[in-house]
Amino acid sequence: MFKDVLKERQAIVERVLYNALKHKQASHAYLFIGPKGTRMLETAILFAQSLVCPHRDPWACETCEICVRIQENHFTDLIILDGTLSSIKKDDVLELQEQFSKTALESYGKKIYIVNRAENATTEALNSLLKFLEEPSGSDTYAILISEKPDALLETIISRCQTLTFKAQNRQALVAQIDMENNDPYEIQLLSQLVNNVEGMMDLQINDDFKHALVMFGHFIDEYVIAPYKGEIFVQTQLLSKRKEAEKPDMGDSNKPEDKKKAKEVVEKGPVVDRRRLSFFFKIGMLFFKDLMLKSEIHSPVWKNRMTHIRPIMDPMTAFNLFNDAEDKINSNANLALLIDSVLYKLKEANHD
């Protein structure tokens, strides 16, 4: 049960929420802040379940039909705005307000919304959210905002929420729980910085997007060491992929003008970028260059060799800043092909002579 995990790993947060539920004094607006991997979203889901679960005591049972529907995001009066991979827009908040202005559709009468990665909301969206926090639609509306970068939020939003801080687990303790004989030490080191719990690390390790990005970044460094232009070409040809045939519309009779127009439209769309894989690529690069900059001890022969050979030709601080900034921009719906070109161009400018 996740409530047991929460009690073990975030004792203070668990006790505050437990008492609020037990005494029926839950705040109508919470702000969860903490580093990546501290399972803030899972805590928000558990809290939402506990507000309506018929078997709560005071935590939700997590197994009944209502709890399962909330877990699977099939509960009508729960809305999740997720800024993980794209920015939250003003229209998203306005749509939330519109839906919550109506009578609750579920029989429990409570309306709950979760804003994950709230720092990735636009300024207009944050202002609309502030207004909604100030004027909620009824006393049974509950808000849970989640942020890894609370400095990016409006002070007025923070002041209207009860803030709970999630503590990161010790990285050494996390790594100590992993079977290192059958894993690359540096891959585990990266995972421990991307996710702050063992279960999440293991899930991410077998994630296709993460595995692809890790291989791509390793090949990028290998090519860049041979010659910077080879690294640039590798990124431009491998991270930018052609659309699959299956994604093309049926062209029908290719002699017809309308079918020729469709074919032209597909060609003009050109290369595409997988946003999630690119996000992992930049995150891995950011951590790699941070370790290079800090001269961290690396136990993987392959990655240690890569760091040894890339150091003389690339400034680690410049590369770290470029990859860090690029990863942030992915959430702002930036043109990804142009973003890649910009990073490569600036890397080239910063090359050591």
Q: State whether 126 and 220 are in the same domain.
A: no
pLDDT tens, residue order, the chain (353 aa): 999 999 988 999 999 999 999 999 999 999 999 988 789 999 999 999 999 999 999 999 999 999 999 999 999 999 999 998 788 999 999 999 998 888 767 777 899 999 999 999 999 999 999 999 988 877 789 999 999 999 999 999 999 999 999 998 767 777 777 766 778 889 988 998 888 778 788 888 899 999 999 999 999 999 999 999 999 999 988 876 543 433 344 444 445 555 544 444 433 444 456 888 999 999 999 999 999 999 999 989 999 999 999 999 999 999 999 999 998 888 777 788 889 999 999 998 877 55
Q: State whether 255 and 144 are in the same domain.
A: no
322 domain residue, yes or no = yes
181 domain residue, yes or no = no
Q: State whether 101 and 212 are in the same domain.
A: no
- Domain span at residue 30? 2-165
Identify the CATH number of the domain in which residue 105 sits: 3.40.50.300
What's the structural domain count of the chain?
2
Block residue for tokens 């505050």: 16
Q: State whether 15 and 109 are in the same domain.
A: yes
Helix (H) or strand (E) holding 235: helix 228-238
160 domain residue, yes or no = yes
Please tell me the distance from the alpha carbon of residue 271 to that of residue 238, in angstroms, as a whole number.
Answer: 10
* Token pair listed for 167: 């503590």
User: Cα 19–22–27 angle (5° rounding)?
Assistant: 65
Q: State whether 161 and 218 are in the same domain.
A: no
Q: State whether 141 and 279 are in the same domain.
A: no
Q: State whether 155 and 9 are in the same domain.
A: yes
Give the type of residue at 83.
Answer: G
Query: What pLDDT sits at residue 3?
Result: 96
* DSSP track, 253-289: STTSHHHHHHHHHHHHH--B--HHHHHHHHHHHHHHH
188 domain residue, yes or no = no
Q: Identify whether 58 is preceded by a cis peptide bond (ω within 30 of 0).
A: yes
* DSSP track, 100-135: HTSPPSSTT--EEEEEETGGGB-HHHHHHHHHHHHS
Q: State whether 223 and 108 are in the same domain.
A: no
Query: What pLDDT sits at residue 197?
Result: 77
94 with 128: CB under 8 angstroms?
yes
Please tell me the distance from the alpha carbon of residue 203 to that of residue 195, in angstroms, as a whole number.
Answer: 10
Query: What pLDDT sits at residue 256?
Result: 54
Please tell me the distance from the alpha carbon of residue 165 to that of residue 144, in angstroms, as a whole number.
Answer: 13
Q: State whether 72 and 219 are in the same domain.
A: no
201 domain residue, yes or no = no
Q: State whether 295 and 216 are in the same domain.
A: yes
Query: What pLDDT sits at residue 265?
Result: 44
Sheet holding 141-147, edge to edge: 78-82, 111-116, 141-147, 29-33, 162-165
Please tell me the distance from the alpha carbon of residue 284 to that of residue 13, in angstroms, as a whole number.
Answer: 30
Query: Domain end: 113, 141, 165, which one?
Result: 165
Query: What pLDDT sits at residue 180?
Result: 65
Query: What pLDDT sits at residue 103?
Result: 75
Query: Domain end: 165, 192, 219, which one?
Result: 165
DSSP-derived 3-state class of residue 167: coil
Rounded (to 5) percent helix, strand, coil in the chain: 60, 10, 35
Q: Is the pTM of this model over 0.95?
A: no
Q: State whether 29 and 116 are in the same domain.
A: yes
